[in-house]
DNA sequence: TCATTAAATTGTT
DNA sequence: AACAATTTAATGA
């Protein structure tokens, strides 16, 4: 986590696969889509690179096309608190974009990622013109509210196995992160950073979950077998 | 395409 | 934190 330079978004034609990874594109009318696609920008982010920083004015509404990002904030004592990871298909910052305020969080790439950005002005134009887009944003805000409440619960859990399970479940959220699908590409080290546990402990928790056939541990990723079980994981002893 | 080597990730102590 | 084992990615013939 060292790169300080700001993310450089380039304007270029997105490939069909990249557009497919943007969930709200399909909710627009052809006219709206045309304008949105034209305004969309894209960038590669290296590990540690900042996508946006706390306190900076909002310029773009961001989404993850590929890779994994980390949302965190720094408190008054200078300590960093990690809130959540953002896997593929996830879009964030709509709250601040709507109010045209400054970013409330730091967003960093946890690994090499591809990030798309829509300028705030275009974001507002879509809000003013597209019902489909409004529906998406509303749904997004609603779902995230639920996720943050769940995150508070997770924080109060002492049991590491449950913390890992619930954190994983939120990363597998199909509404917020439709790009994830069955397999979440994340290393155990990356998950350890997000959950705030050691890699060893995360490994132990994952092994326990795999033994219950809730997930399957794969090289460089995790396959969800039973999302419900992941969400409602209990302590076994 | 295949074989070899380096790098990344995982499992374990 | 350290180490070995395993998997993937990179390289070059």
- Enumerate domains of chain A plus CATH numbers: 5-149 (2.60.120.10), 159-231 (1.10.10.10)
Judge whether A167 and A194 are in contact, CB under 8 Å: yes
Stated as kind and residue range, the H or E segment containing A120 is helix A120-129
Question: Straight-line distance from CA A154 to C1' C2, in Å?
Answer: 31
pLDDT score for A78: 78
Instruction: Report the C-alpha gap between A158 and A152 in whole angstroms.
Output: 12
Greatest alpha-carbon span in chain A: 58
The label of the residue with tokens 């894209």 reads A42
pLDDT score for A2: 40
pLDDT score for A8: 79
Nearest nucleotide to A111, CA against C1' atoms: B8
pLDDT score for A119: 94
What mean pLDDT do residues A224-231 have?
A: 95
Indicate yes or no: strand C within 7 A of the C-beta of A219. yes
pLDDT score for A76: 79
Residue A5 in this model has a pLDDT that exceeds 60: no
DSSP state at residue A4 = -
Indicate yes or no: strand C within 7 A of the C-beta of A236. no
What mean pLDDT do residues A133-150 have?
A: 94
Indicate yes or no: strand B within 7 A of the C-beta of A236. no
Question: Straight-line distance from CA A100 to C1' B5, in Å?
Answer: 52
Q: Could you tell me the pTM of the whole model?
A: 0.89
Residue A1 in this model has a pLDDT that exceeds 50: no
Indicate yes or no: strand C within 7 A of the C-beta of A220. yes
For residue A171, give the nearest of A82, A41, A48, A237 by alpha carbon.
A82
């Amino acid at each position: 986590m060292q790169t300080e330079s700001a993310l450089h978004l380039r304007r270029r034609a997105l490939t069909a696969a990249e557009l497919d990874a943007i969930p709200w594109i399909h909710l627009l009318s052809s006219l709206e889509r045309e304008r949105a696609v034209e305004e969309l920008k894209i960038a590669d982010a290296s590990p540690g690179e900042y996508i946006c920083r706390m306190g900076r004015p909002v310029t773009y509404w961001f989404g993850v096309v590929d890779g994994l990002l980390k949302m965190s904030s720094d408190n008054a004592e200078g300590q960093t608190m990690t809130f959540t990871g953002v896997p593929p298909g996830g879009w964030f910052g709509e709250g601040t974009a709507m109010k045209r305020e400054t970013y409330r969080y730091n967003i960093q790439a946890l690994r090499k990622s591809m990030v798309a950005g829509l300028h705030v002005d275009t974001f507002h134009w879509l809000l003013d013109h597209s019902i489909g887009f409004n529906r998406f944003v509303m749904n997004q805000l609603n779902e995230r509210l639920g996720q943050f409440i769940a995150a508070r619960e997770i924080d109060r859990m002492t049991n590491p196995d449950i913390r890992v399970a619930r954190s994983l479940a939120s990363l597998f959220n199909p509404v917020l992160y439709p790009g994830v699908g069955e397999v979440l590409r994340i290393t155990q080290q990356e998950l350890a950073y997000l959950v705030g546990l050691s890699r060893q402990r995360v490994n132990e928790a994952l092994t326990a979950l795999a033994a219950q056939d809730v997930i399957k541990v794969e090289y460089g990723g995790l396959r969800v077998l039973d999302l419900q079980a992941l969400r409602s994981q209990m302590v076994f002893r």
